[in-house]
Structure 1
């Protein structure tokens, strides 16, 4: 056989192999038998009322089953994603449709999936048992999501053996820990979400978190944390999100480590203990009902009540968020906290601020003073200024015209008095303007709106204002929402409303 012929046959074989790989096939046609059997045993322990696992049958290729991903070369199962896909958004969080939940227990057969790197079981119902300790032996896991799966009790320390983990989400269950030592070996961890886990006994939470070199997101909202300890050296070089909202911190000062990394956007509440609001009470009652929902025996009912008290027994908490920032930070929030303070003059140097949320903060400050603080370099970048219900008083001033990049301005529920300044018309990018429930008076004219071409939401309800425009005035904007309650708009139906094609009153 000539050299040319041998070389041609060699090229042909390479071509066949290439086509085979491009079509997703390999030497391993379909999944491995032992892994298929492991999945079927896993399925046997689950109720599936919506038939989500209909494709899981004895004779089929498990690599084609719902929620399964196999390695194209080896055929090993690398992903098991059975997250309940039927969720809906309510009260700032996703909730699952109970009719589409998988209900039952997690079978240890998962240990036979030796190459599993992704395990997602969120929004299903595992009926008030502890997280199985054997999950800590699935050593190749890089992604583990058990969020909102009805697990209760202490987080098993063996989860700390998952040294390859990059993402761990145990949020929205009824769990607690006594310390953070079990996390100390997760050097590759980038995302950690323990929201609603009771961390009141974990005094080492910050110390251990500070040793995780890869951490990008740390979410510990509603975890009954009480103290923000100082850090001699902060190692949060990669951290971009720190969420400690709805916690119970007893110190009102933001420690220096929070504002250290220039990328860090933090949510830090400052709460005074038991001061409950209606929303928090409702959330607490909802959690209690959820805990008791599957209690079909008296003994189980008692155990679940004990778990609830151990996890959430500290009372209902008022909501709060504080985002600390340095010059490079983009967002600040100090919403719904119990502090009484003034916005410091030093914030005038935060020239890159884009968003300021100060809803519900007891600022006891005049609006003109706040405008004066932010009217320098801050005003050039600021897009959202929300000061709703923050005990602010005084007169609006012409300084409002300095904020030319504003998209949203919310000054509702104050004791702001006097006229609306004409410099409002300089806010050509303004889309949302809320000024309700104040003591504004005087006249709003066409001049106020002449450059507000992007305005879509406008509310001045419960003020003593008069809207005085020409009968044939055509506004430069198209409103989606309009509030003029208690304001005088003339003795006739305003003709200009006929030009608004999108509004809904």
Structure 2
């Protein structure tokens, strides 16, 4: 999509979902959206957005009314823009899988309506005015009194938990579930995060009853059995089964997945020849530290929304497919520590980061 001006005529629009639609050339997209007087919900996941789009943002915008904003799986870099500072109505802000760096700014403390904040898989190195991510948890986290979910994984915080976190009365913590195999939950979940939980060795049968799950994180836990076939029927967009001991061939997965983490397991055998047809919407693919062998399937080149692909530390052989350069959004490709041969295609020089 090259021109986004037509959206400016939708004066009564309250919800806009353009997930997966390429807006790389529509540099006026956010500027146009910032003038919509009624907009409350914006979902722009995996749209190829970058800093150039933010530079065209309208300063005196109506984005202060937005309650839901999803900019995940894009290519934003550098500091968090002050565009967010005045978005005081935000309840959900999802910025995962970008390249934001530097400090997490103090102005996030002004967004006191937030109940869900996701900053995972960026490059933040410190919290502004406080300590680095290997230091103490900041006191200002206690300002988010409506927060229902707090995700601080993949860090090295130490020290004591600040007493200010006691203000987060809406958080549910230290939950222990002891269920029978035949248990059927009286609810339907959209997000299940059970990282490092003592579940297993097989996938729990109650999970089969969850028909609306979009995000599933069973990483670093005790499950060692292969994903059952019914996982392929779930409407997943994010699946993380990394850092486990799962063996077997590449699993049957839903075509809706856009973020897939299977790293640090014992998967073996060849990658499916039609993997690009199986999951055409993939944006993040991490298969590192497994035992996959044989050649790299050419069908990977059909994943035109791909941003990051990690195939390192496997037993893959043959040549790197030249068509990988057709993945114009991809800026990270890792294929080191395999059994690849031949000449590295010159076309891969256009990828921002290649490790092979």
TM-score, structure 1 normalization:
0.37
- Taking a change above 3 Å as real, the CA distance of residues 195 and 451 of structure 1, as seen in their structure-2 partners, is farther
Q: Secondary structure of the residue that 1:332 maps to in structure 2?
A: strand
Instruction: Compute the displacement of 1:503 (Å).
Output: 3.4
Q: Secondary structure of the residue that 2:281 maps to in structure 1?
A: coil
Any conservation in 2 of the 1:467–1:487 contact (CA below 8 Å)?
no
Q: Secondary structure of the residue that 1:338 maps to in structure 2?
A: coil
Any conservation in 2 of the 1:360–1:389 contact (CA below 8 Å)?
yes
Alignment of 1:80-159 (within 5 A): 85=106, 95=127, 97=129, 123=139, 147=143
The CA distance in 2 between the partners of 1:417 and 1:195, in whole Å, is 47
The CA distance in 2 between the partners of 1:360 and 1:436, in whole Å, is 15
- The correspondence for 1:495, drawn from 324, 346, 350, is 346
- Taking a change above 3 Å as real, the CA distance of residues 359 and 195 of structure 1, as seen in their structure-2 partners, is farther
Q: Which has the larger radius of gyration?
A: 1
1:344 aligns with 2:201: no
Please name the residue that 1:445 is paired with.
297
Instruction: Compute the displacement of 1:493 (Å).
Output: 2.7
Please name the residue that 2:236 is paired with.
382
Alignment of 1:17-36 (within 5 A): none
- The correspondence for 1:436, drawn from 279, 285, 288, is 288
Kindly provide the CA deviation profile for residues 284-332 of structure 1, in whole angstroms up to 9, marking residues without a partner as x.
xxxxxxxxxxxxxxxxxxxxxxxxxxxxxxxxxxxxxxxxxx33x2111
- The correspondence for 1:173, drawn from 145, 162, 167, is 162
Alignment of 1:36-435 (within 5 A): 85=106, 95=127, 97=129, 123=139, 147=143, 173-174=162-163, 194=166, 218-219=170-171, 243-244=172-173, 247=174, 251-253=176-178, 326-327=187-188, 329-366=189-226, 370-376=227-233, 378=234, 381-397=235-251, 399-400=252-253, 403-426=254-277, 427-435=279-287
Structure with bigger RCO (C-alpha 8 Å, 6+ apart): 2
Instruction: Compute the displacement of 1:349 (Å).
Output: 2.8
- Taking a change above 3 Å as real, the CA distance of residues 86 and 347 of structure 1, as seen in their structure-2 partners, is closer
The CA distance in 2 between the partners of 1:470 and 1:363, in whole Å, is 34
Any conservation in 1 of the 2:272–2:297 contact (CA below 8 Å)?
no
Q: Secondary structure of the residue that 1:422 maps to in structure 2?
A: coil
Kindly provide the CA deviation profile for residues 448-470 of structure 1, in whole angstroms up to 9, marking residues without a partner as x.
22421011111111101025356
- Taking a change above 3 Å as real, the CA distance of residues 172 and 409 of structure 1, as seen in their structure-2 partners, is same
Please name the residue that 1:286 is paired with.
none
Any conservation in 2 of the 1:96–1:123 contact (CA below 8 Å)?
no
If each structure's helix is expressed as a fraction of its own residues, which one has the higher value? Answer: 1
- Taking a change above 3 Å as real, the CA distance of residues 491 and 451 of structure 1, as seen in their structure-2 partners, is closer
- Taking a change above 3 Å as real, the CA distance of residues 494 and 334 of structure 1, as seen in their structure-2 partners, is same
Any conservation in 1 of the 2:293–2:315 contact (CA below 8 Å)?
yes
Please name the residue that 1:457 is paired with.
308
Q: Secondary structure of the residue that 1:194 maps to in structure 2?
A: helix
Q: Secondary structure of the residue that 2:208 maps to in structure 1?
A: helix
Alignment of 1:458-473 (within 5 A): 458-469=309-320
- Taking a change above 3 Å as real, the CA distance of residues 371 and 503 of structure 1, as seen in their structure-2 partners, is farther
Any conservation in 2 of the 1:395–1:416 contact (CA below 8 Å)?
yes
The CA distance in 1 between the partners of 2:239 and 2:146, in whole Å, is 34
Any conservation in 2 of the 1:332–1:355 contact (CA below 8 Å)?
yes
Kindly provide the CA deviation profile for residues 131-154 of structure 1, in whole angstroms up to 9, marking residues without a partner as x.
xxxxxxxxxxxxxx9659xxxxxx
Instruction: Compute the displacement of 1:499 (Å).
Output: 4.2
TM-score, structure 2 normalization:
0.51
Aligned residues: 219
Instruction: Compute the displacement of 1:91 (Å).
Output: 11
Please name the residue that 1:480 is paired with.
331
The CA distance in 1 between the partners of 2:317 and 2:263, in whole Å, is 18
Please name the residue that 2:14 is paired with.
none
- Taking a change above 3 Å as real, the CA distance of residues 95 and 123 of structure 1, as seen in their structure-2 partners, is farther
The CA distance in 2 between the partners of 1:173 and 1:330, in whole Å, is 30
Where do 5+ consecutive residues of structure 2 fail to align? 1-104, 110-118, 132-137, 149-159
The CA distance in 1 between the partners of 2:143 and 2:161, in whole Å, is 6
